[in-house]
Amino acid sequence: MKLHRDRLRRIVPYALAGAAGAFLFRTAMQFDFQRRADTLGPDFWPQLVLVLLLVVCVCEILRIAFANRPDAAGGVLEDIAGGTGTATAEELPEPAPLHPWKLLAGMAATLGYVALVASTGFALTTAAYLAAFLYIGGYRRHRVIAALSVGGALLLMFIFMKLVYVSLPIGSGPFAQFTILLMKLMGIR
């Protein structure tokens, strides 16, 4: 009986995640939009992610239910739900030092990003945001920060606008002209 109860306890997180995924998939099936020929709609990516979530949940439920050994290694959701961890106080690593100013600076950068992205456009604002986070995190190699922030912003812009078909803010005035130039150079319509 204990074995059955233990397996059920381990299945519950996956069943809950799967149920939430099924509900969200049903919601994503009801997106109202105008379909364009030869393009993926805004419903494709959420549905794909949710199908993958459902597949993982079903596979984990079946693995737990039919495992030969009751003490088989647990999955991520089991570890989170069960709070696993058997280390003693002597075995635990030293906690990392706290830096509340870094937290506040990160929050300020995020608020600044949200406030500016509509007027300065996604590409420039995201590049500045990535650079700010690298700098706040303690990285000080300025050429690397510049390359990562500009490259990261352009990569995200390409993925969202060209592959996923998400409309991103282009900004206003000269920022919009700059974003449109970037879009032309990257082959984004």
Average pLDDT, 10 consecutive residues per value, the chain (189 residues): 78 93 89 74 80 94 80 58 58 79 94 95 97 94 96 94 87 96 93
Residue 189, classified by CB atoms within 10 Å of its CB into exposed (0-12), middle (13-18) or buried (19+), is exposed
Domain positions in the chain are 2-82, 100-185
Entry pTM? 0.57
